[in-house]
Structure 1
Amino acid sequence: MEDKKVKLLEEKVKDYKQFGFILLSLSIFLFIGLVIPAEHTVITTPSIFIIGIFIALVLAVVFHRLAMNTQKQIYEENNQS
């Protein structure tokens, strides 16, 4: 039973880290798209773009925190055994 719990927690850590990395990559991609000027297109509302970037960054930090807390649970679970 304990092995299943540890394995489930390890899978959660992996997922949280992947979500965080994807959101970080997305925010970098959006920022580069905002900074690089384009001759044809004019973004009329860059504030929505900036808000999206900050939301992606905040969610990346949240998922990183979740991964670290879950990793801590795994460490405590292994030390109790």
Structure 2
Amino acid sequence: DNKVSGVTCCSRLLGCSYLFPWVLPKPWVHTEPLCSQDEFLILGNKALFQKVSYQEAVSTVLAVRDPRAAAKKLCTLAQSYG
């Protein structure tokens, strides 16, 4: 089933150190400088952006503006694509 110990197919997971050495307990970290012109930051994983384009994600967040509602809308949007 391509899963590590029948649990996951991911190689990096937070909180799953019991799956070491098959799952790396250290996350990949990227630093992105923000400036005063930045209105928001969208954090999404590969699964989100395989379904939703960057522009569609930005348009969705701009239309909603409430952070929690925007996050829920992005989840719903990605799920609607199957």
TM-score by length of 2: 0.26
Higher helix share: 1
Q: Which has the larger radius of gyration?
A: 1
Higher relative contact order (CA 8 A, sep 6+): 1
TM-score by length of 1: 0.26
